[in-house]
Structure 1
């Protein structure tokens, strides 16, 4: 074969190889550029979500902090048996003591409901401070709803267990419901009611409104909790102890300016209900 023809064939093949290689390289570069563009846009969206989550958390930090402080202080009063004295006084004072306590619970749940309605992004946010707050809020919700705390023994049960031959139905009828337990659905319902008649308010109803509408709106949700407050064993509640501990962690996380809490050498010394001594079993 003529040397010129061979050279031409080699040149042609080389040109095809180079063309194919260039095409593959171009496609790969295009895919890589597209991937980089996608990652950049996703990073920008994530940053925007984090900024929005942080801004909304900051906006509701103060009302949430107030609700946490009031609830933590009230739980401390219960556990230190300070509430028991009021329950044994006049009927009016006893009712106010109970309703004031369940109002603290309801206001916390209402403030949380408002926060979540404004900021579903909170649970997905990756900013450290916001993520810690979200984790503590979730833990508090679980502490309210868990059946692992304060399970009352079956009514009339003896130390050795139920009498032989007792039916399963009878045992179920005697089984006591754990004290101070609020399921997630109950937590959400109470939170919605605290947002006012239409359930869309951006602030919780005040105590006067709560007091006057309790029997009509709140009793079906909060009466078991209120009744548990009247029990002599209420101060020994494991659930309330756990909730107080989690609220103490939350208040120090929310209180960026130190207006409600004081920490010295890593130990919380104020408020009183959040100190190690107050949280001890």
Structure 2
């Protein structure tokens, strides 16, 4: 009888040890899975925060560049400024009308390139605001690159857009910035290689005047997309003047809202 009790007791001890081992292993695995999930969630939060930090850092310069470009396009297509000043008797007035029109486009592309350089190392995931931001940038770029729109003036393929943006990047103190307008004009005068990238665009400014609204559809669509980007970056309309009207109503590109003509923009 004593032997049976001893055997049963030993068996129960072994069984208890096995159960305890299983429970310990299960608990350890559960804790490891929990820690892994927490780490993944923290990583996702960090990625979103990094992306938002980059966007916030460049929000103001991109917003201003987008506003200046849409304003110039609004006035170039919907106003009389270019028609008058491209043929002005004063050479400085003629040059400003032509060169500044090209500069505001290059300045915008520069800030887009700066932001993309910072964001390309970040996995933006499915963060809604980041995807929306990228969609707005894509719509502006598509308006300039599309082969489906009439005319070739101011048509820039993606590689050309990035190249022009890169040409205006200046770095000081480890921070990237866009070339100023005076520096841009000086480079046009001093560097044949630099000017080569802008020669066609400088000639294209006169083409805006030569075409009617339909012939300038590319610029109309670009201006619409820029307004949508500005509204996304400044929804409360507190950072910029409340002068962000779209030009005439046109059939919207995918992802764009249709709008109507309104007051002309500033020069």
What TM-score range do you get, normalising by the shorter chain? 0.7 to 0.9
Kindly report which structure 2 residues correspond to 1:80-229, keeping only aligned pairs within 5 A, or say none.
80-82=78-80, 83-90=82-89, 92=91, 93-120=93-120, 124=124, 126-150=126-150, 152=151, 178-196=152-170, 202-214=176-188, 216=191, 217-229=193-205
Q: Do the aligned residues in 1 keep the contact of 2:143 with 2:221 (CA within 8 Å)?
A: yes
* Greater Cα offset, 232-241 or 4-13: 4-13
Q: What root-mean-square deviation, in Å, do the aligned CA atoms of Structure 1 and Structure 2 show? A: 3.1
Q: Do the aligned residues in 2 keep the contact of 1:144 with 1:181 (CA within 8 Å)?
A: yes
Q: Do the aligned residues in 1 keep the contact of 2:224 with 2:247 (CA within 8 Å)?
A: yes
Q: SS in structure 2 opposite 1:237? A: helix
1:246 Cα deviation (Å)? 1.1
Cα distance in 2 for partners of 1:123, 1:218 equals 34
CA distance change for structure 1 residues 123 and 66 in 2, over 3 Å: closer, same or farther? farther
Instruction: Report how many aligned residue pairs link the two structures.
Output: 243
CA distance change for structure 1 residues 34 and 87 in 2, over 3 Å: closer, same or farther? same
1:106 Cα deviation (Å)? 0.6
The one-character-per-residue Cα deviations of 1:236-265 (angstroms, maximum 9, x if unpaired) are 323212211111111111115523255xxx
Q: SS in structure 2 opposite 1:134? A: helix
| In the alignment, structure 1 residue 250 sits paired with structure 2 residue 226 | no
Could you tell me which residue of structure 2 aligns to residue 233 of structure 1? Answer: 211
TM-score by length of 2: 0.75
The one-character-per-residue Cα deviations of 1:32-73 (angstroms, maximum 9, x if unpaired) are 322221221222222223223323322221111110100011
Unaligned residue ranges in structure 2 (runs of 5+): 249-258, 263-267
Unaligned residue ranges in structure 1 (runs of 5+): 153-177, 263-269
1:4 Cα deviation (Å)? 6.5
Cα distance in 1 for partners of 2:57, 2:221 equals 27
Cα distance in 2 for partners of 1:274, 1:190 equals 26
Could you tell me which residue of structure 2 aligns to residue 34 of structure 1? Answer: 32
1:116 Cα deviation (Å)? 2.9
CA distance change for structure 1 residues 201 and 37 in 2, over 3 Å: closer, same or farther? closer
Q: SS in structure 1 opposite 2:54? A: helix
Q: Do the aligned residues in 1 keep the contact of 2:124 with 2:130 (CA within 8 Å)?
A: no
Q: Do the aligned residues in 2 keep the contact of 1:248 with 1:274 (CA within 8 Å)?
A: no
TM-score by length of 1: 0.72
* Greater Cα offset, 87-96 or 7-16: 7-16
Cα distance in 1 for partners of 2:21, 2:149 equals 66
| In the alignment, structure 1 residue 272 sits paired with structure 2 residue 245 | yes
CA distance change for structure 1 residues 213 and 24 in 2, over 3 Å: closer, same or farther? same
